[in-house]
A and B are shown apart, each in its own frame.
Chain A
Amino acid sequence: MSKERASASAGRVGSGEQVAGSPVATDERTITLELFRYHPETDAEPRFQSYEVPYNEDWVVLDAINWIKDHVDGTVTHRWSCRMGVCGSCGMMVNGEPVLTCAAFLKSYFPFAVRVEPLVNFPVERDLVVSMDGFMDKLEAVKPYMIRDDVNDTSGGEFRQSPAELAKYKQFSMCINCMLCYAACPVVGHEEGFLGPAALALGHRYNKDSRDHGRSERMDVMLSDEAMWGCTFVGECSVVCPKHVDPAGAIQQAKAMGAQEYFKAFVMPKGAGA
């Protein structure tokens, strides 16, 4: 892979040079960012391009990428939105680790260079942007929404739930679909049919919801072949999750639920899985 060093201007940026919405540099020091570049219409293959960026210990990697885009190279393409760890848009590989770039501070890497790449296990659309199509298909497959015949019937008021019932699934509902767990999971890269950590955790979240009646529909998908059983409990999904969801735990619980249904099907062939 060719590696091109671009001579990008560095140094202090005064307030007069600030681009609206762009972070302001306040330090004389610089840090090197090596960005993965790939424009499918012109590039035969991906390459890395280096930029010298003003170092500010309050900056996160996303600030540095935004600074590059605003001051040096407007062709850099990346996905971001909230800058506060809520939207899940800015997940990238930083020095080989899947992280939200809005939560990865430059001071964790300074003075060494920071290499930023798109999330692995996903097709790259352009530069740091990956295609989410496959992930969305998997997410849709597990029906991550409330299923019940009277879901639109509000005549009886809210569908009430006790704190204990809420506690059974609450942590799994914290997922922001940032896809870091897919980049961290080795099985996602090997097994096409594996639904992956976030989709399985969200499917399990609704299966555990006392108000939901759609467990059987979801289990049709989750119990098939390698959709869930491909997980070998590596556990990296839970390690990298920025919202402290435990997808690995959700998958193990869902497997136990599936195994119960499997054996129940022998005892009660017509009544299992309801």
Chain B
Amino acid sequence: MSSSGSDGRRGGRRARHSGEAFWWALFSAGGVMAALFVPAFVVVTGVLLPAGDPAVAAARAEAFGQAVGWWPVKIALLGVIVLSLFHCAHRIRHTLMDFGLRRYSGLLKVPCYGGALAASLWAALVLRGNTGLV
């Protein structure tokens, strides 16, 4: 038969709270953060800061670096970065599942969320120093 897909039979009830709720919450929060802040960061750090006279741009970058060195800003930045990373990780995992790796959905959590965790730690270390974003 040419038709495909599910026969729809449900194999009874499973655990009430799938861990997917946790990963989806990170994905959802990260999506909001990425949509709201990441484009602005790209414009500010990639276009506005280096624009114009190099000497003026360098002074501007230094002032920006000092602002980023303020710990409340570091915490806010880390929040945006970490949530955005887990947003990416969740999307990549589900994309891989759609590409035929659905049976490995549990195993895929290791490289996807593990990668996001490693990148988050790296971001925390970078922010911990006084070099700001650069």
Contacts and interface: CB of A to CB of B under 8 A. Distances in A.
A141 B10 contact: yes
The range of chain B's interface size is 20 to 34
A224 B16 contact: yes
A190 B1 contact: no
Contacts of A232: 91, 94-95, 98
Interface stretch (B21-29, B53-61, B76-84, B107-115): B21-29
Nearest to B25: A259
28 contacts: A118-B3, A120-B4, A120-B5, A121-B6, A123-B1, A124-B2, A124-B3, A134-B6, A136-B8, A190-B102, A191-B6, A193-B11, A194-B6, A223-B18, A223-B21, A224-B14, A224-B18, A225-B15, A225-B18, A229-B21, A229-B24, A258-B21, A258-B24, A259-B21, A262-B21, A262-B22, A263-B25, A273-B16
A1 B3 CA distance: 13
Contacts of A130: 3
Interface residues of A, number: 45
Interface of A is mostly: helix
A133 B94 contact: no
Interface in B14-46: 14-18, 20-22, 24-25, 28
Contacts of B94: 232
A164 B62 CA distance: 53
Interface of A: 1, 38, 45-46, 118, 120-124, 130, 133-138, 141, 186-194, 219-221, 223-226, 229, 232, 255-256, 258-259, 261-263, 265, 273
Interface of B: 1-11, 13-18, 20-22, 24-25, 28, 91, 94-95, 97-98, 102, 105
Contacts of A188: 5-6
Contact of A262 (B25, B97, B102, B105): B25
Nearest to A273: B16
Contacts of A220: 13, 16
Contacts of B10: 137-138, 141, 193, 221
